[in-house]
Amino acid sequence: MKELIRHILKEETEDIDRNVFNFLIRRIKKETKKFNTDYDVLEPFELTEYTFEGLPEYGFNSFYNSKKDLEIKLCKMLYEIGVVDFWIYDLEPQDPKRIKLIKTVRQFLNNILK
């Protein structure tokens, strides 16, 4: 009984899913490209591309629409490749599993988009 209570408390207090976070961190590749301009007074235009090793269709660049769009795209990727076994919109908004996944994806995006 005590072990069950400890396990439940640990799950509720842990902010992010370390397995999902580590999966994303290990596979992300960042590539910065510079594009020259015709004008000497302007600095070169920089574009940063983020891709996932083995999953090129889920990449994005530094001109993304919004973080919300990226969150949905990454959650879709995690669901389609089988890292998570649920789709975020199949769960209630306050479901602990959904909240944990969204927090994990947000922390990942905050770390790489600095």
What is the distance, to the nearest Å, from the Cα of residue 12 to the centroid of all Cα atoms in its chain? 21
Please, what's the b/e burial string for 21-46 (b: 16 or more CB within 10 A of its CB; e: otherwise)?
A: bebbeeeeeeeeeeeeeeeeeeeeee
pTM for the whole thing? 0.76
Structure tokens at 64: 């993304």
Per-residue pLDDT reduced to its tens digit, 33-86? 888 766 766 777 788 899 999 888 888 888 877 888 899 899 999 999 999 988
Q: What's the token pair of residue 39?
A: 């004008």
Q: Are 33 and 59 a contacting pair, CB within 8 Å?
A: no
User: What mean pLDDT, rounded, does the chain reach?
Assistant: 84
pLDDT of residue 11: 54
